[in-house]
Structure formats: C-alpha cells, structure tokens
Structure 1
Amino acid sequence: MQAALRFLDLLGALNRSVAAVGLWLAMALVALMTGIVLTGVFFRYVLNDSITWVEDVALIMMVSTAFIVAPHAYRTGANVAIEMVTAVLPAMLLRVLRVVINMLILWLIWRYFLESLALVDRGWGIRVNTVPIPWAWPYMILPVAFAAMVLVAVELIGRDLWALIFRSDAADLPHVAPIEPE
C-alpha cells in the first residue's frame, strides 16, 4: 500500500520536473520566436529585404511550444472542461468518471505516440523548405511530448484508483480541488 503511494509520489515528482523543464523551454522558445519574427519584420519593412527562413522557423517554434507545455497542461487540468456537469456528481462517481476518461486519453496518447514515431521516420526524407534540415528534427518533439503525457496519464489514473480503492485522498494532487465526501 505504501509502496504504491511512494511510486505515485516518485512519478509525480518526475512529471513535475518534466513539466517545469517544458515550461522553461517554452518560455525560451517564445522569446526566441518573438525576436526572430521581429527581426524578420525589420528586414522586410525597414531594409526591404526579406529573410526567407523566418516563417518556417517561427512555425516550428510555435508548434514545438504547444507540445512542450502539453504535459504540464494535462497534469494541472489546464485544458478546457465543462465543470457544471462534474460539480453535481457524487465523489465516487466523479473519480470513476475521471479514471475512465483518463484511460481513454491514455489510449489516444499512446496511439498518437506510435503515429509520431512513424512521422519522425518519414521526416528523414523530407527537407524543411528554407532551412537545411530534415523535418524529422522538428517532429521529434511529438514522441517526447506524448511519452511525457503517457506518464502523466498513468499518474492521474493511479491517483484516482488509489482514492477509489483505499477511500483516501492522500494521493490527490494539491492543485486538484478535493472531492467532497458524499
């Protein structure tokens, strides 16, 4: 029983660390992307000489940023939710519903993870239009993000299963509002 709780805590610490690194990387990418876009605008409208690679690099950075922060958003519940439905559910039913939903999400993420590996493989044969690299390099963020999201899904499912089995909220994440007893 305590071993399972320690496992969830270790997995949570790993997920929290991965999310923190992702947030810092995303902030750096947004700052870098902003600088690149502003430089591109300056060159185009002030110097009347466009930099050809600005759009492709900015697009790669923007998409990468979204995938880098996805594990953090999933773990913290920063996704879109309809809470008026879940607010009226009994506590145990809500936990069962969260387990079912997170299991479906886990299945989808796993499928996307496998597809992303195939995408990276195909990307080695395709070049970015204006940058001399294969698309596989920018695509590599996909399996990394999906693998991190698999770990988050396992943690969230484990925490709710713990609460259902042991009738305890000891494994709940602090940012998730506690479920009131029935």
Structure 2
Amino acid sequence: MGLNLLRSGLRRLNLGLLSVAKYLSLTLVAVMTLVILLQVVCRYVFNDALAWTEEAGRYMMVWMTFIALPIVCYKGQHAALDFFSHLLWRRTRYLLEIVLYTLIMVVLFFALEKSWLFASKGARIFATSLPITKYWVYLSMPIGFGLSMLVYVELILDAITGLLPERRQAQLQAQPGQALWKQL
C-alpha cells in the first residue's frame, strides 16, 4: 500500500509539473519564433536591427530546452540504446532499468548542484541588451534537472513495481494519472 501511495502521489505531482512545463515550453517556442521573425523583418526590411531580439531568442531557447527535458525523460523519448533490452527477461530488464535510472539520478544530482552554483554566480552578471541578470537565464538548468530527478524517482518506483510478483503487480497497476498524461 505504501509503494502504491508513493507512486500515485509522485505521479500526480509529476503530471501537474510536467503539464505546466509543456505549456511553458510551447509558449516559449511561439514567443521565440515571433521575436526572431521580428528581428529578421527589422534587419532586412527596415535595415535597422533591434538590439535585444537575438539575446532574448537565445535565452528563450535555453529555457525551452531545460523545461522540456523532464517531459522527454518521462515519455522515454530521449536518445536510448534499446536494441537488446527486449531480449532480456522481464525481471532482468527491470533490474537494469533500476541501475540505469539510479546512475542517471547521480549525474542529475551533480548537474543540479553545479547548475545551482552557476546560476547563483550569474546573479552578479547583467545581460547585454536586456534588463535582467544572467541568474534568470541560468535558473532554467537547476529547474530542469530538479524536475528530471522527480521523473526518474517515479521511473525507479515503476521499475521496482515491475519486479514484484504478477499478482501484487496487478494490484499496483491502478495508475490514476495515466489518462491525464495522455492529454499532455
């Protein structure tokens, strides 16, 4: 019961956070596209480039990249070498997933720590053409890594559930957020 409650709560938290991340990423792509189009029109039609558009577009690209990272991890759409995993026994595959996800969590932990220090140092550096500090740009990294860590905790719990006997596994398969995720 405890594992199911933990998985269910974490799944709901992840689905809520990833839903916000999805719409923020889509918004960033749309605004970034408009800003870059504005830059092109001003530069080549009016022969007068705006100073802030290139920097703003680049910063939006950075945010979009790190905000979309946990979504890609959750859906399993990142680069992966899975040409032999289907040949493994079910329990072996789940054990391998637990090991790999744990290693990814270790890397994400160090990336989170280093990116937080990097963002903190950016608080003293102002952007070239925008009235913000680089902290607000670099903050996307620890946010993306932190959300990705939450995703991998859930994936580890799912793999642990996969190791359980079939009967116990069937009891835990009730996934309340699964229908919601399909909408993402």
| Same fold, TM-score > 0.5, yes or no | yes
Residue of structure 1 equivalent to 2:50: 51
Give aligned pairs, total: 174
Over the aligned positions, Cα root-mean-square deviation in angstroms equals 1.7
Give the 5 Å matches for 1:56-135: 56-135=55-134
1:160–1:172 contact (8 Å) kept in structure 2? no
Residue of structure 1 equivalent to 2:19: 20
Q: Structure 1: which amino acid aligns with 2:119?
A: V
| Local SS of the residue matching 2:132 | coil
- Which protein has the bigger helix share? 2
Q: What's the offset of the Cα at 1:157?
A: 0.7
Q: Deviations over 1:76-107 (max 9, x none)?
A: 10111222211111111100000000000000
Q: Distance in 1 between matches of 2:107 and 2:81?
A: 20
Residue of structure 2 equivalent to 1:164: 163
Q: Structure 2: which amino acid aligns with 1:148?
A: L
Cα separation, partners in 2 of 1:96 and 1:10, compared to 1, 3 Å: same
Cα separation, partners in 2 of 1:171 and 1:98, compared to 1, 3 Å: farther
Q: What's the offset of the Cα at 1:36?
A: 0.5
5+ residue gaps, structure 2 = 180-184
TM-score (norm 2): 0.89
Q: Distance in 2 between matches of 1:58 and 1:136?
A: 16
Q: What's the offset of the Cα at 1:53?
A: 1.1
1:23–1:69 contact (8 Å) kept in structure 2? yes
Q: Structure 2: which amino acid aligns with 1:26?
A: S
Residue of structure 2 equivalent to 1:143: 142
Q: Distance in 2 between matches of 1:108 and 1:89?
A: 25
1:71–1:145 contact (8 Å) kept in structure 2? yes
Q: Percent identity?
A: 28
Q: Distance in 2 between matches of 1:84 and 1:172?
A: 29
5+ residue gaps, structure 1 = 176-182
Q: Distance in 1 between matches of 2:129 and 2:82?
A: 45
Q: Distance in 1 between matches of 2:47 and 2:136?
A: 31
